[in-house]
C-alpha cells in the first residue's frame, strides 16, 4: 500500500442442533429469551508502512512538481528563478526515482453494489459504558452519511459490559450509540468482542477481560493460552475451557452464550427494524479465529513464525488423550524443535523444507491443533445462531500472509491454519462456517505482494495468493465473504486493490464481496482530501460512475 503526498500533513498514528443445546445448562436456554427472535470479524505486516514512510518525502516532492503549484515567493526575479530551479530539481528527482507509470483504473460503473461500513474507534465506549464525546461522534457520523457510507461497525466489549460480576450486564452506552446510528438511518455491524484490547498494532486504548475473569486467572492461570515456556496470554481465554466449569460455575461457552443472549434481549428493537444488519462473533485474539501465536507482548516481531499456544493444562490434556486414542501416547506433547517467536522456518527442524511438520507425528499434531480451532468455532457459532436466530452472523479470519511462499507455511501453522503447500487448510474452516450459514470476514485485501517483497523480501509473503485462496474456499461452499483492510488506507492505489478483490475481473459466476468494512474512523480520514478519495472509493464499491477515472496509464 502506497501513501499519497498528503500524508506529509497527516498524523497516521493516530431449529437448532441438539449438540448446541447440550453445551448449556438447562437454565442457560430458558431465562430471559425474547419471543420475537425470528426476525429476518493482525494480521499485520510493517512492510507497507515502512516502505511508504521511506518514500513519502519523495512522493511529496514529485506530486508538487506534477501539480504545477509553485512555492510562495517574494515578487523578485531572483526568487522566481530560484523557484524554477527548485521545481526543475524536483522534476529531475522524479526521473531519477524512475517511478513506474500509473496503473490504469478499471471502470466499476454498473457492477454489483457492495455495502461499505466504517469501524468506529476502539474507545468509543469507555470502561463505565458511557459514550465518549457524543457530539464529536455525531458530527463524524453525519459526514460518513453524507458520503453515502452504508453503516458502521462497533465492538461490544465483554470487559466493559460484564466487567464487575458474572451476568451483571451494562449496555447503557451502547444504547445511546445505537440510537444515534438509527436516527441517521445508518446500519450497524456489531462485534461480540470476547478478547482484550491493547498491545496489538492499532490499539489505542486498553480494555481488559472482565475483572472477575482476571481474578480467576490469578488463581488458575491455565484459563489463558500458554506457550512452551509457560508464558500466559491474557488476551483471551484458552479454548481448553470451552466445556470446563471454571468460570464461577459456568463453562466459557455458557459465559459467551449468556452475553450474546443478553445483547439480543436488550436490543430487540434494533434487530426488529433491521438497524443491526450483522453480528460478528469474536472467536479468539483480536476477535479472529486463530491462536494468539504472534503476541508483541512476548517479543514477537514481523516476520517471526510465532509459537504454538497449547501448553495450558486443559489443551495438553486434550492432546494426550488424542495421542492415546491414536495408539502413540508418546505423541502427547508439542514439538520441541519448532523454534521461537522470531525464528525463520529454515532455522527450525520442524518447519524447514522436509522438516518434521510433514512427519507422521507432525501431521498428527497439526491435525489436532487445527481441529481444536475448528471445534471451538463450531461450538460458539452453534450457540450464536441460537441466540441470534434469523440474523446474519459472521466471523473474522486473520490474513497470515508471511512465509506463504514456503513449503510449511510456518506462521499459518502456529496460528492454527493447517495450510502447508500440499494441503488446503481453509476448506475445513469454510465447511464449518457453511454448517452454520456464517459469513467469512477476511483481512488484508489492500496489500500487494510486490509491496511485501520490497519491505521484507526474506518473509516470502504473498497476501494476494492468500486472499485468493481464502475467498475461493468460502465461495466454493457458497457462503458470503466480507472483508476489511489490515492497515490504514487513504490512497487510490490501496483502494483500487480493494476494489479488484471485492469484484474480481471476469469472474464467470459474478462473485463479489458481500460487504467491506473500512479500518477505521479517525481525524485523518476526516481530512478534506482523504475524505474526497474515500467518497470516490465508496461510489465505485456501490457501482456508481466517477468523473475522474484514469482509464489508461499516464
Q: What tens digit of pLDDT does each residue of 303-362 get?
A: 999 999 999 999 999 999 999 999 999 999 999 999 999 999 999 999 999 999 999 999
User: What is the rounded average pLDDT for all residues in the chain?
Assistant: 85
Confirm or deny that 436 is annotated as ligand binding.
no
Q: What is the DSSP string of 423-465?
A: S-SSHHHHHHHHHTTPEEEE--TT--HHHHHHH-GGG---HHH
**Phi/psi of residue 233, each to 5°?**
-125, 110
Identify the pLDDT of residue 104.
Answer: 83
Options 2.60.40.420, 3.20.20.80, 3.40.50.970, 3.20.20.70; which CATH number does 116-309+377-542 get? 3.20.20.80
Please say whether the beta carbons of 252 and 314 come within 8 A.
no
| The predicted structure's pLDDT at residue 198 | 83
Task: Find residue 440's DSSP bridge partners.
Answer: 395, 481
Q: What is the pLDDT of residues 532-553, one digit of tens each?
A: 999 999 999 999 999 888 764 3
Q: Is 464 a catalytic residue?
A: no
- 15 annotated ligand-binding residue: no
Burial 144-178 (b: 16+ CB within 10 A, else e): bbebebbbbbbbbbbbbbbbeeeeebebebbebbb
Asked whether residue 75 carries a pLDDT value surpassing 70, the answer given is no
Say if residue 431 carries a ligand binding annotation.
Answer: no
Question: Is residue 517 annotated as involved in ligand binding?
Answer: no
Q: How many helices (H) and strands (E) does the chain have?
A: 19, 10
Q: How many CB atoms lie within 10 A of CB 216?
A: 18
Across the range 276-292, mean pLDDT stands at: 97
Give the model's pLDDT for residue 74.
Answer: 37
Least confident piece of the model among 64-78, 480-494, 519-533: 64-78
* Cα→Cα distances 74→67, 82, 439, Å: 20, 11, 61
Catalytic choice (288, 446, 464, 527) = 288
* Helices 172-183/134-146 angle, 10° precision: 30
More confident residue, 548 or 209: 209
Decide: residue 326, CB within 10 A, 0-12 exposed, 13-18 middle, 19+ buried: middle
Beta strands of 265-406 (E only): which ranges?
276-281, 393-397
DSSP state of 516: E
Contacts of 98 (CB under 8 A, 6+ apart): none
Check residue 288 and give its pLDDT.
97
382 labeled part of a ligand binding site: no
Max avg pLDDT among 3-7, 78-82, 263-267: 263-267
Judge whether residue 103 has pLDDT over 90: no
- In angstroms, rounded to a whole number, what is the distance separating the alpha carbons of residues 446 and 399? 11
pLDDT tier for residue 96 given thresholds of 50, 70 and 90: very low
pLDDT band at 455 (very low <50, low <70, confident <90, very high): confident
- Band (pLDDT 50/70/90 cuts) for residue 202 is low
pTM equals 0.83
pLDDT higher than 80, residue 299: yes
Q: What pLDDT is stored for residue 25 in this prediction?
A: 55
The more confident residue out of 187 and 13 is 187
Look at residue 398 in the predicted model and tell me its pLDDT.
94
Q: How many residues does the chain have?
A: 554
pLDDT beyond 90 at 462 = yes
Between strands 393-397 and 439-442, the pairing is: parallel
Residue 223 has pLDDT above 50, yes or no: yes
pLDDT at position 385: 96
3-state secondary structure of 193: strand
- pLDDT for residue 51: 37
Confidence of residue 470 (pLDDT cuts 50, 70, 90): very high
For 151, the grid coordinates are 453503516
Summarize pLDDT for 130-162 with one digit per residue, the tens.
999 999 999 999 999 999 999 999 999 999 999
Q: Over the stretch 396-446, which tens digit does the pLDDT of each residue have?
A: 999 999 999 999 999 999 999 999 999 999 999 999 999 999 999 998 888
Q: Binding site annotation covers 395?
A: no
Residue 548 has a pLDDT of: 86
Annotated catalytic residue, options 412, 484, 527, 533: 484
- Of residues 51 and 285, which shows the higher confidence score? 285
* 441 assigned ligand-binding residue: no
- Segment 82-92 shows an average pLDDT of 45
Say whether 496 sits in a helix, a strand or coil. Answer: helix
Q: What is the pLDDT of residue 133?
A: 96
Amino acid at each position: 500500500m502506497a501513501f499519497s503526498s498528503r500524508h506529509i500533513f497527516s498524523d497516521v498514528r493516530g431449529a437448532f442442533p441438539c449438540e448446541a443445546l447440550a453445551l448449556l445448562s438447562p437454565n442457560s436456554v430458558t431465562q430471559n429469551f425474547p419471543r420475537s427472535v425470528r426476525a429476518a470479524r493482525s494480521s499485520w505486516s510493517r512492510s507497507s508502512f515502512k516502505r511508504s514512510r521511506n518514500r513519502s518525502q519523495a512522493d511529496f516532492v514529485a506530486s508538487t512538481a506534477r501539480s504545477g503549484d509553485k512555492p510562495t515567493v517574494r515578487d523578485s526575479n531572483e526568487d522566481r528563478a530560484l523557484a524554477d530551479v527548485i521545481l526543475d530539481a524536483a522534476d529531475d528527482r522524479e526521473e531519477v526515482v524512475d517511478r513506474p507509470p500509473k496503473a490504469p483504473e478499471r471502470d466499476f460503473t454498473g457492477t454489483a453494489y457492495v455495502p461499505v461500513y466504517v469501524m468506529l474507534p476502539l474507545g468509543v465506549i469507555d470502561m463505565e459504558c458511557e459514550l465518549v464525546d457524543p457530539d464529536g461522534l455525531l458530527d463524524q457520523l453525519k459526514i460518513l452519511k453524507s458520503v453515502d457510507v452504508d453503516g458502521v461497525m462497533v465492538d461490544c466489549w465483554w470487559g466493559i459490559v460484564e466487567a464487575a460480576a458474572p451476568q451483571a450486564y451494562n449496555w447503557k452506552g451502547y444504547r445511546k450509540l445505537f440510537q444515534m446510528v438509527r436516527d441517521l438511518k445508518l446500519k450497524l455491524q456489531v462485534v461480540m468482542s470476547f478478547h482484550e484490547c491493547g498491545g496489538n498494532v492499532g490499539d489505542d486504548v486498553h480494555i481488559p477481560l472482565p475483572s472477575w475473569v482476571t481474578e480467576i486467572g490469578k488463581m488458575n492461570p491455565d484459563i489463558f493460552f500458554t506457550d512452551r515456556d509457560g508464558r500466559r496470554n491474557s488476551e483471551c481465554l484458552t479454548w481448553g475451557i470451552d466445556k470446563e466449569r471454571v468460570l464461577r460455575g459456568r463453562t466459557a461457552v455458557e459465559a459467551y452464550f449468556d452475553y450474546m443472549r443478553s445483547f439480543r434481549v436488550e436490543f430487540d428493537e434494533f434487530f426488529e427494524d433491521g438497524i443491526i444488519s450483522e453480528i460478528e462473533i469474536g472467536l479468539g485474539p483480536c476477535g479472529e479465529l486463530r491462536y494468539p501465536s504472534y503476541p508483541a507482548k512476548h517479543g514477537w516481531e514481523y516476520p517471526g513464525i510465532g509459537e504454538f499456544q497449547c501448553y495450558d493444562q486443559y489443551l495438553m490434556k486434550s492432546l494426550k488423550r488424542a495421542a492415546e486414542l491414536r495408539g502413540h501416547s508418546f505423541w502427547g506433547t508439542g514439538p520441541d524443535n519448532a523454534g521461537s517467536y522470531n525464528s525463520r522456518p529454515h532455522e527450525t527442524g520442524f518447519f524447514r523444507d522436509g522438516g518434521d511438520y510433514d512427519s507422521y507425528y507432525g501431521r498428527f499434531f497439526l491435525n489436532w491443533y487445527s481441529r481444536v480451532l475448528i471445534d471451538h468455532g463450531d461450538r460458539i457459532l452453534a450457540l450464536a445462531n441460537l441466540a441470534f436466530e434469523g440474523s446474519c452472523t459472521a466471523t473474522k479470519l486473520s490474513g497470515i500472509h508471511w512465509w506463504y511462499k514456503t513449503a510449511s507455511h510456518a506462521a499459518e501453522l502456529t496460528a492454527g491454519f493447517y495450510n502447508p503447500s500440499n494441503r488446503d487448510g481453509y476448506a475445513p474452516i469454510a465447511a464449518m462456517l457453511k454448517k452454520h450459514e456464517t459469513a467469512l470476514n477476511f483481512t488484508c485485501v489492500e496489500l500487494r505482494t510486490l509491496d511485501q517483497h520490497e519491505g521484507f523480501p526474506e518473509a516470502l509473503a504473498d497476501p494476494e495468493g492468500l486472499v485468493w485462496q481464502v475467498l475461493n474456499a468460502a465461495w466454493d461452499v457458497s457462503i458470503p465473504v466480507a472483508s476489511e483492510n489490515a492497515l490504514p488506507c487513504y490512497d487510490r492505489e490501496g483502494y483500487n486493490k480493494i476494489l479488484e478483490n471485492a469484484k474480481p475481473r471476469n469472474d464467470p459466476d459474478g462473485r463479489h464481496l458481500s460487504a467491506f468494512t473500512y479500518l477505521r474512523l479517525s481525524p485523518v480520514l476526516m481530512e478534506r482530501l482523504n475524505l474526497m478519495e474515500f467518497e470516490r472509493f465508496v461510489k465505485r464499491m456501490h457501482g456508481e460512475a466517477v468523473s475522474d477515472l484514469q482509464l489508461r496509464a499516464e
